[in-house]
Structure 1
Amino acid sequence: MFQPIKLGPLELKNRIVMAPMTRNRADKGNVPAEMTIEYYAQRASVGLIIAEATQVSDTAQGYASTPGLHTPEQIAEWKKVTDEVHRRGGRIFVQLWHTGRMSHVAFQPNEQAPVAPSAIAANAKTYIPGIGYADTSVPRALETDEIAGVVDDFRTAAANAIKAGFDGVEIHGAHGYLIDAFLRDGSNKRVDRYGGSIENRARFLLEVMQAVVGEIGAERTGVRISPVSPVNDSSESAPQPLFEYVVRELEKLHPVFIHVVEGHTGGPRDNAPFDYEALHRLYSGIWMVNNGYTKEMAIEAITSGRADLVSFGRPFISNPDLVRRFRENAPLNPLFEDAPLYGGVGPHGYIDYPALPD
């Protein structure tokens, strides 16, 4: 776990990854806050940081105070983050995101309906400042001729990520957001070339991947999937053949990694039967796993060859020096009880978790 590994042209100093985690700390204009620089730089000892889910356009937002990569101001502020992470010896990708139906008209330009594969509301809520938690809005189905424009939003955001100094991008194809909603038959009831068969439902993801790989190169492009996670009202009647097809097609594009959330995101790893090794066998690149891993589980996954990289989420929130703590078998900080995971003001619960003394 502490040995270096090649990720495309990069050499990662260990096989531990900071998973992307929404923290709802962006400033006005969905620009990364000044404290975001220190937040990621504190964690630069990890092999790879994957920065939080970041909107590809002004219609991609679904939550309060989440950053984007579609304006010059956003690019400029992200550049400050990547420069400091690199100065401290780290490597950083960014996760590119379109929330799809996991949104509300309050976040959309002119309070228009969010977009989705089909006009089916998610059984989910989002937080709206000044109002509180509200049901996500009923989306409208994207017209067939609109989809190419959304694909291009991902391509442009990937180009912006490189301008902002990121080492690469992870395409968010998980957790019920737009790409995942196209994949799954519970949320995709289309009758055009983007709906119906597995091949059609996977078309949007593969077009996004083709566009991004074409723009910045496969060696800078990863993708995240969550085959059986039910979060954000996700459902699929036949996940095994769906995701085997997806990985088989991704292999042709050869992204630099595939990042797999095993089980129910943030919950049980055995919520539904699924053969992850069958997926792994279909892909020849770097295989990253996530969800509920301990240090011991991570070592087993890597030494057995079941994974090349393991990503950790919440332990990185409360332990900026998680790699050192793992290496020295030091105890982990618990999450502060008086600090929110999402949002908040000031440094508490964001950049004031203690590191081990030198």
Structure 2
Amino acid sequence: MSEEKLMSKKKPAYPVSKRLDGYLHKYSRKIEIPIFYEDLLRFSGSVVVYDDDENDTLWVRVYYSDFEREEIDLSLKKVYSILHSDGSDRILEYLNIDAIDYCTFGNSKPFRIKVRNILNDNYTYFYVKKTDASRVYGLELEHILSPYNLNFLVYEDTLIEEHITGVPGDVFIKDMLPNCTEAEKAQLAKEFVKFNERCMIRLLGDMRSYNYVIVPTHDFDHVVYKIRAIDFDQQCFEGKLKVYRPQFFKENFQMVELVRTKLQKYSVDQYKIEERSIVAKRILSSGNRIKRLMGIARMDNISLPENIERLKLEIYDLTKDINFKKSNTMGEVLSLALDFVRRNYEDMSMKQILGNGA
């Protein structure tokens, strides 16, 4: 299936509703910041950013007039302090804004801010984007349901995201995968199965290879690889279920081949069950937080009527759960999908308890 047929040409940005805004405030996601996305658009010019092989990265390094740069730098340092520290001005004198890059590719058109500690030259990044309800739901679900915590802030029309470290999937597949050992390839295949399942469960779409990172961790005498999403723009918007399964994007063909050649069907099924169980446990342990978020999502407008209609029927065909057919919003579809996973886990756990009791 071609990418044009799989994905909509452009997803609209959805505003944050009053109820979602209240949720963000309750969980300390909504904090006043000293600069807005629109302020960063006032750059005077830009130069193309190339990678080490002189390829265009689709990012441009922007610059501002001397007067505006001084004000913008100070505001961005304050944002860093709010995001990563206690929000005070004490650390500002030790920070430098090394670069402000603007991405010309994709829906979100983010700014990437490089912040350096001048005492030791350590540096990190954060992103400034336009607020979009889809992305906010995606970030919050990643924080609650994935193995990773996420730090982000929302203030009116501006979204601040922390940087997620790792090797971009497309770079890893091209430059590093060929040099992996057979054992490492098998481990990557396992992680891709689990990542594929996790995306489908929580309806996170468009996980092409440049929208996730591979995170290598050295553990004794070997390297353990994990896969993390880095783009949450396509959270429960599209109507095609395949969009929420990374295996169907051509950019992930080599990862799918790893699964085919390195894992037996029994192992694939085992890893899927493992991931569903882990997500179910996180749903149960999240308590009222996920319930509040889903209650808001069920009443929110975050997709198109035709997408809702198609997706609920495709998921019904997969699960045979009649409740999906009754859904009227994408939030209802998402909530039912998570509830379906939770109920199946609880039913299986109860059967094991009763079986052991017998």
Q: TM-score, normalised by structure 1?
A: 0.28
Larger Rg: 2
Q: TM-score, normalised by structure 2?
A: 0.28
